[in-house]
Amino acid sequence: MYDGPNIVPIAALIGDQARASMLTALMSGEALTATELAAEANITKQTASGHLAKLREAGLIVVASQGRHRYFRLANKDVADLLETLMGVAERTGSRRVIPGPKDAQLRKARVCYDHLAGEMGVELFDSLQKRQLILLAKDDSELQLTSSGRKFFNGLEITPNLPASSRRPLCRVCLDWSVRRHHLAGAYGAALLEHCFSKKWAKRVEGSRVVQFSKRGELQFRSELIN
């Protein structure tokens, strides 16, 4: 007797720190190998392998074999949307990740938060966008709107999120940074902006960490083009 979709196994899969880390690492859309994902989740590759098999069996991720590598990615945009929705609820209920670690100056400056830019540069960018009224934050911080001039601004720079029409991912979302009350930009445009930084070669990700490393020239161009 079947009666409706069963949300339990799906939620249970995401409700594990290691698997959630791997899934969110995949939110950038990039396909990653099992070893990379193991490092991302701070577990051994055996454990990762087991988790990935479960995620695959549940249809949350898909795998493509290439030589001796196996590249994993999210199965579809639905799954990314689900993760995004979860982040939204977690954000509003005040549940945040607490990561005990060295107060790395690089991490403070610029790092990846899921698939968008966080750290001082992320906050700086957010403040500037808000000041120029390219984005509009509701009074209760619940919603972030892209204004029409904001849309023009991004279009002019050819920064456009590539979303299927069916996607329900919000274009802009706020995401709270370490120091409470400092926001940075999440959502589809947040992801597109970080992608822009990578494709313009302003910055690159440091292997095995969340650090986003801007070159001297990249940082200057980032500021002149985006911060104003």
Q: At its nearest, how many Å lie between DNA and the CB of residue 58?
A: 11
Residues 48-107 that bind DNA (CB under 7 A): 48-54, 63, 67-71
User: DSSP string spanning 144-160?
Assistant: EEE-HHHHHHHHHTT--
Residues 24-63 that bind a second copy (CB under 8 A): 24, 58-60
Closest residue by Cα to residue 41 from 210, 198, 184? 210
**How far is the first Cα of the chain from the last one, in angstroms, to the nearest whole number?**
61
Q: At its nearest, how many Å lie between a second copy and the CB of residue 156?
A: 29
SS3 call for 110: coil
Which one of DNA, a second copy, none interacts with residue 98, CB within 5 to 8 A by kind?
a second copy
Cα gap 203→27, rounded to integer Å: 19
Question: Within 10 Å of residue 12's Cβ, how many Cβ atoms?
Answer: 12
Q: Which one among 10, 20, 33, 120 touches DNA, defined by CB under 7 A?
A: 33
Q: At its nearest, how many Å lie between DNA and the CB of residue 18?
A: 4
Q: Does position 43 bind DNA by CB under 7 A?
A: yes
Q: Which residues bind DNA (CB under 7 A)?
A: 12, 16-18, 33-36, 43-54, 63, 67-71
